[in-house]
């Protein structure tokens, strides 16, 4: 993968097992974020393939990646600050019955997610008032709402305090046991 004359990512092969936690480690500019963005469909690689659970994925298509169970959570969170936690979790996937928004169903599902993650966040709180750690939890809840089987974190601890980092690591360990399949990502 190149950005003008700068090579951001050399040929890479990465096999990811969903019931595990992997870390990409390297210098700034080594291509870690670029690789994650390719896997999540945010960036189209110059060449190569992305295969998820044995199926080649369209390149540069975040919706296809989400449909395959791959969701990226980036350094720049995608929370909409003026919206509630509930609205952010269900953003793009509103629940409805007979054409009408089913807020009660979403609140029940929201509380199910907070219970699953062992967190306490009011569904009606406006997200701009939440800590960065809680906003990241909202992003994780949104990923789980999309039925994510692989969650890609781009520098998830960069803006967290030490106790928030430990809480995130604990949450990641709890999530890793949910699915057991392999996926492959290849870039050339």
Distance CA 174, CA 29 (A): 31
* Residues 69-101 pLDDT 10s: 898 888 888 899 999 999 999 987 777 676 677
Residue 107: enclosing H or E segment and its boundaries? helix 103-117
Q: For domain 2-187, is the CATH number 3.40.50.300?
A: yes
Identify whether the C-beta of residue 50 lies closer than 8 Å to the C-beta of residue 57.
Answer: yes
Per-residue CA distances from 69 to 28, 57, 181 (Å): 28, 11, 11
pLDDT value at residue 109 = 93
Instruction: Report phi then psi at 152, rounded to 5.
Output: -100, 120
Contacts of residue 174, Cβ cutoff 8 Å, sequence gap at least 6:
117, 118
The structural domains of the chain, with segments of one domain joined by +, span: 2-187
Query: Looking at the whole model, is its pTM more than 0.85?
Result: no
pLDDT value at residue 1 = 56
């Amino acid at each position: 993968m190149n950005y003008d004359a700068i090579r951001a990512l050399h040929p890479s092969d990465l096999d990811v097992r969903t019931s595990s936690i992997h870390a990409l480690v390297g210098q700034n500019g080594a291509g870690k974020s670029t690789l994650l963005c390719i896997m999540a469909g945010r960036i189209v690689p110059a060449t190569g393939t992305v295969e998820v659970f044995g199926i080649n994925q369209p390149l540069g298509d975040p919706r296809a990646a989400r449909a395959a169970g791959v969701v990226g959570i980036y350094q720049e969170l995608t929370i909409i600050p003026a919206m509630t936690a509930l609205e952010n979790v269900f953003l793009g996937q509103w629940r409805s019955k007979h054409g009408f928004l089913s807020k009660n169903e979403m609140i029940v599902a929201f509380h199910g997610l907070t219970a699953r993650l062992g967190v306490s966040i009011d569904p009606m709180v406006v997200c701009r008032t939440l800590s960065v750690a809680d906003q990241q939890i909202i992003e994780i809840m949104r990923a789980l709402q999309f039925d994510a089987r692989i969650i890609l974190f781009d520098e998830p601890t960069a803006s967290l305090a030490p106790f928030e980092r430990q809480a995130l690591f604990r949450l990641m360990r709890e999530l890793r046991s949910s699915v057991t399949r392999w996926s492959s990502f290849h870039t050339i």
